[in-house]
Amino acid sequence: MSTVVKKQVAVKVDGKDITAPEGTVILDVAKRNNIPVTNLCSHRNLKPFAACRTCMVEVNVNGKKELVYSCTHPIEEGMEIRTNTEETNRYNGACLEMLLVEHPLDCPICDKSGVCPLQDNTEELGIYNNRFEINRRNEPSIKSNPLIEFYLNRCIMCGMCVRVCDEIQGVQALDFHNRGMKVGIGTANDEPLDCEFCGQCITVCPTGALMDMSSEARGLAALFTNNESTCNYCSWGCTVDIQTKKGKATRIEPIDDENVGINNGNLCAKGRFGHHIIHNQDRIQTPLMNVGGSFKEVTWDEAYNAIAERLKAAINRGGPETVAGIASEKSTNEENYLFQKLFRGVLGSNQITNLQHLRAPHVNRFMLGCFQNGMTSKPIQELEEADVVLIFNSDLPSEFPVAGNAIRKAAINFQADIMIANPRNLVFDHESRNETRLTFQHGSDQAVANRLAKILIDNQLVDLDKAKGAVSNFDDYVSSLENYNADFAETATGIDDETFTKAATRLARNADRFFLIGNDVLENEDGEDVLNALLNLGTLLHSGGEGSVNIYPPREHCNSQGVNDMGCAPEYLPGYKCAKDSKALAALAETWGIDALNFDGQDKASDLFENCKNGSINFLYIAGEDPLHSYYKGAQVREALKTTPFLVVQDVFMTQTCEVADVVLPAASWAEKDGTYTNMSRHVQRVKRAILPEGESKPDFDIFCELAEALGSPFQNDSLEDVQREIENVAPIYKGLLPGEECRQWTPESSSEKPKFVIGGEFKKMAAKKEYPLSVIANNHMFHIGSYTRHSKVLNTLAPDCKAGMNPADAKRLEIKTGDKVVVESKNHKFELLVEVTPVAAKGTVHIPKNWTEIPVNMLRNGEEGLTSIKVSKAE
């Protein structure tokens, strides 16, 4: 909830007493209380518009009767409202009749048939005969872009697509053309749609004038089976409806209901159109075994037996701690739980980790630090009611597009402060008049956060006595910030102090503040210091300011949070219990029905690939990750995987990492399994099987259970329900949250430790090297995440080529223009790719998306810390 308090107003609707916040329009009050009022152009996420004129109600104030449009008329104290009177039905019906003059009755072949408000309202008002002469439009449908079909004969000019595109997506790709009888919807100059392809216009279109062309199966909504599940791409965790027809997953739609999930009916291009990774010809169909350099198809039993045999041999030879596993940020909680149970409980090895934790173990420490300092963070749905949003080094429109939707709503309803701290000049359009751009020099994130904190203290913008009382090492913190004066900060970041002061002042006001931190933070060596600086800034505001501070750790994939929650990290048992705590280990051993959990104290998992390389790991099991492509030390991984005597890789697609495995196991896709994901704001949400697994692939859950059996120690609990009960028992933070139907956030156990600032990590200005004058900013492309989406033909059509984004000034100096092919070269690696000259790219940096396997951005860095320095030249 925003800190803006709205007065409650009491009204009567159809005799029922209702109270609602001041300013709410009648239609919303009615809808929220399940009182049906016909309407076609109103949507809870959009501003009132009054285009369709079919929502008239009768209003009585002080004995005076009035007929008003309920979608624009706000409630007043003591108002008596009557819906569906003979009179209002007559008016509403007449307007509907006029809409039906033009609307074609091709319902049997319409995508919206069955979920169409025009049908519903026609039935509601009993319009069986139209008094007007029918004059249907008969224009051909427009298919000039690859995804969204415009069949404008069905358009009723409600303007919802235009408004959602503008207000919620901030794009304005669609708008009205002409007026009066000639009015229509279209793009500028009727050119093919070229936008973020979020598909929100399809979601809100009430009549099937805009349709999803990505799916082969079309037509009547009633012929599809709906499966409510959670998206498997980014960590925002949108609820999606996987729609199936004849056993095939054919399309994905959001669930347009504010009470379902965290996304309030919003979805992005990847979530909506990226479903072709489910039925895909590139999927691995059977288990494969590497025999003399080429893969041979084998049965599951042969694969399990080979793995079990090699596991036992490895353990006999070097002890249990020579077998290690990498869990997946894309597998469900239950699967990850079983994976660590397999290693800890069955094999006796604590050498288990996940790629995010391996790269940046400080992210988990940061999250636990926030809890310790009292910032447990509200459910992310409340972002729509934020007062201040700090988007810190996040390419939000690509990284968390749906977060952008919520923020734009906060901008409209609360004029929220939007602070964008990023080296790039991100495009983020919204309707708030309070925007602060903290455009800093690449690599100076820490100085930005620390300068803001210093201003809060120096200008006494927060209650310093209160903060000092609440946090033990307040004085140390103040002295650690001593250096961050205006000049220092301006030199380091390139931001003038007026901007800093404005941002600090807005941050300090009584507000609900949300900090969204981008995954870019994980790229640099100083990531831990940056997160600590943000943790301290948050703690200062939390302890000395009014309102709330909600701060979420950067997480990339759909279950990057859950994989850590489930204990797939050497330091943590499930539920973040210390893996060295003998009491916790004993309790876990008892639950698992084994004698004892004794690990020999070696920590090989924290530098796993180095340990593979030096021969101290005999067996590596990678469940659903592609470190060769995604890990920042590409060459080290290659060396490590070559050295490791036995490598098992389990994945949906034949990745580069699969290619070098000894055994490859085909995993089922997210649409083919049951379980839960936990999103970056700790909401535990249901993943629901919509179809049967492709080929011989199996859910990771089944694979781990069957492997335990092949090893001679089957899990006692091998059904989803039982494993979920076990998780709730072992990790109390998950108690009552599974099977995830209710989408609730887990609450950390209360900490006995006193809040404290995390001090240390002096700011070092990172400069590009002379011979490599530019630095790389690498993150996910707007239409891609990880490498799975590259198998989606639709997303590939939207973004076929990897393009390096370059600032116009740099491009001019190097005589490079958009469309040129360039050589990008670092000390470690070089490759060629296309260039796009864009003012979004910061001067001195090159933005390269990391999703193209043929453009291995990770190899440029290859383990080097600091900024990845490169030079760019025109290709021959």
Partner 1 sequence: MFAFSETSEKEIEKQLVKYPPERKKSAILALLRIAQQQNGYVSAEAMEEIGRRLDLSPAYVESVCSFYTMYYTRPVGKYVIMFCINVSCHLLDCDNLLEHTAKKLNIQVGETTADKMFTLLREECLAECSRAPVMRINNDYHVNLTPQKIDQILDSLK
Phi-psi region of 645 (alpha: psi -120 to 50; beta: other; left: phi over 0): alpha
Give the nearer residue to partner 1 in terms of CB position, either 157 or 471. Answer: 157
Bridge-partner residues for 667, per DSSP? 698
Of 184-192, 438-446, 640-648, 855-863: span binding partner 1 (CB under 8 A): 184-192
- Only one of the segments 166-174, 238-246, 681-689, 696-704 lies at the binding site for partner 1 (rule: CB under 8 A); that segment is 166-174
Partnered with residue 744 across adjacent β-strands are 684
Which stretch in 170-178, 454-462, 473-481, 768-776 sits in contact with partner 1 by CB under 8 A? Answer: 170-178
The piece of 183-191, 445-453, 559-567, 802-810 that touches partner 1 (CB under 8 A) is 183-191
Q: Which of these ranges, 167-175, 344-352, 504-512, 807-815, lies near partner 1 under the rule CB under 8 A?
A: 167-175
Structure tokens at 254: 């959001």
Told to check if 186 binds partner 1 by CB under 8 A, we report: yes
Neighbours of 812 (CB within 10 A): 12
By C-beta, is 187 or 669 nearer to partner 1? 187
Closest approach, Cβ 171 to partner 1, in A, equals 7
Q: Measured between alpha carbons, how far is 561 from 542 in angstroms, rounded to an integer?
A: 24
Least CB distance to partner 1 at residue 424 (A): 18
The single residue among 189, 259, 750, 752 that binds partner 1, judged by CB under 8 A, is: 189
Parallel/antiparallel/unpaired status of strands 388-392 and 417-421? parallel
**Contact between 830 and partner 1 (CB under 8 A)?**
no
- Indicate which single residue of 64, 433, 583, 770 sits in contact with partner 1 (rule: CB under 8 A): 433
Q: Which of 172, 479, 582, 818 binds partner 1 (CB under 8 A)?
A: 172
Identify the H or E element spanning 648.
Answer: strand 646-651
DSSP 729-761: HH-GGGTTTTT-TT-EE--PPPP-SPP------
**Cβ 633 to partner 1, closest distance in Å?**
43
Site for partner 1 in 298-337 (CB under 8 A): none
Closest CA to 499 of 612, 383, 412, 419: 419
Does position 431 interact with partner 1 (CB under 8 A)? The reply is no
Q: How many CA atoms lie within 13 A of 358 on its CB side?
A: 27
Beta bridge partners of 67: 58
CB neighbours of 94 closer than 8 A, spacing ≥ 6? Answer: none
Evaluate whether 452 touches 500 at the Cβ level (below 8 Å).
Answer: yes
Choose, by CB under 8 A, the member of 178, 281, 294, 752 that binds partner 1.
Answer: 178
Q: How far is the CB of 794 from partner 1 (least distance, A)?
A: 23
Minimum distance, C-beta of residue 176 to partner 1, in the bound complex (Å): 5
Report the residue number, 834 or 840, with the smaller CB distance to partner 1: 840
Binding mask 349-388 for partner 1 (x = CB under 8 A): ----------------------------------------
Residue 58: strand pairing partners: 67, 82
> ∠583-589-590 over CA atoms, to 5°?
90
Q: What are the φ/ψ torsions at residue 239 (nearest 5 degrees)?
A: -75, 130
Tell me the window of 180-188, 215-223, 319-327, 782-790 that interacts with partner 1 (CB under 8 A). Answer: 180-188
Closer Cβ to partner 1, 175 or 458, answer by number: 175
Residue 638 amino acid letter: R
Q: How far is CA 40 from the centre of its chain?
A: 30
Helix or strand or coil: residue 383? helix
Compare residues 164 and 467 and give the one whose CB is closer to partner 1.
164
Candidates 176-184, 251-259, 330-338, 617-625; binding stretch for partner 1 (CB under 8 A): 176-184
For 845, left (φ over 0), alpha (ψ -120 to 50), or beta? beta
The upper half-sphere exposure of residue 116, i.e. CA atoms within 13 Å in the direction of its Cβ, equals 27
Q: Of 19-27, 148-156, 177-185, 860-868, which part binds partner 1 (CB under 8 A)? A: 177-185
State CA 256 to chain mean position distance.
Answer: 18
Residue 214: phi, psi to the nearest 5?
Answer: -70, -20
Only segment of 171-179, 405-413, 472-480, 614-622 that touches partner 1 (CB under 8 A): 171-179
By C-beta, is 7 or 179 nearer to partner 1? 179
Residue 865's SS3 state is coil
Is residue 175 near partner 1 by the rule CB under 8 A?
Answer: yes
Q: How far is the CB of 186 from partner 1 (least distance, A)?
A: 8
**75 vs 161 by CB, closer to partner 1:** 161
Q: Report long-range pairs for 411-417 (Cβ below 8 Å, ≥24 apart).
A: 412/47, 412/167, 413/2, 413/384, 413/385, 414/2, 414/4, 414/385, 414/386, 414/387, 416/2, 416/386, 416/387, 416/388, 416/389, 417/387, 417/388, 417/389, 417/506, 417/507, 417/511
Rounded CA gap, 166 and 724, in Å? 42
177 binds partner 1 (CB under 8 A): yes
The nearer residue to partner 1, 228 or 431, going by C-beta atoms, is 431
Q: Which of 738, 700, 689 is nearest to 330 (CA)?
A: 700
Binding range to partner 1, per CB under 8 A, among 47-55, 172-180, 242-250, 682-690? 172-180
Stretch that binds partner 1, among 169-177, 368-376, 538-546, 849-857 (CB under 8 A): 169-177
Cα four-point dihedral sign 406, 410, 413, 419: negative
Helices (runs of H) and strands (runs of E) counted in the chain: 29, 35
Output the smallest distance, CB 21 to partner 1, in A: 27
Nearer to partner 1, 427 or 875 (CB): 427
Closest approach of partner 1 to the CB of residue 147, in Å: 17
One of 111, 166, 395, 626 touching partner 1 (CB under 8 A): 166
Segment near partner 1 (CB under 8 A); pick from 181-189, 225-233, 402-410, 449-457: 181-189
Q: Single out the residue of 18, 173, 416, 449 in contact with partner 1 (rule: CB under 8 A).
A: 173
Q: Which is nearer to partner 1, 174 or 648 (CB)?
A: 174
C-alpha 253/C-alpha 242 separation (Å) is 7
Q: Determine, following the binding rule CB under 8 A, whether residue 240 of this chain makes contact with partner 1.
A: no
Q: Is 179 in the site for partner 1 (CB under 8 A)?
A: yes
The least CB distance from residue 177 to partner 1, in Å, is 5
Question: Does residue 839 touch partner 1 according to CB under 8 A?
Answer: no
Rounded to the nearest 10 degrees, how much is the dihedral formed by the CA atoms of 859, 860, 863, 869? 180
Report d(CA 366, CA 537) in Å as an integer. 13
* Residue 408 CB, nearest approach to partner 1 (Å): 15
**Strands across the sheet containing 388-392:** 435-438, 417-421, 388-392, 511-517, 547-552
In angstroms, what is the minimal distance from the CB of 173 to partner 1?
Answer: 6
Binding letters toward partner 1, positions 734-773, x by CB under 8 A:
----------------------------------------
Tell me the pairing of strands 210-212 and 663-666. unpaired
Q: How far is the CB of 772 from partner 1 (least distance, A)?
A: 34
- For residue 800, whether the previous peptide bond is cis, meaning omega lies within 30 degrees of 0, is no
Nearer to partner 1, 162 or 204 (CB): 162
Size of the site for partner 1 (CB under 8 A): 18
Query: Is residue 145 at the binding interface for partner 1, with CB under 8 A as the rule?
Result: no
Between 105 and 188, whose beta carbon lies closer to partner 1? 188
> Are the C-beta atoms of 846 and 873 separated by less than 8 Å?
no
CA of residue 843 relative to chain centroid, distance: 28
With residue 229 as reference, give the H or E element that holds it.
strand 225-230
**Min. distance of Cβ 181 from partner 1 in angstroms?**
11
Binding site for partner 1 (CB under 8 A): 162, 166, 171-180, 186-189, 429, 433
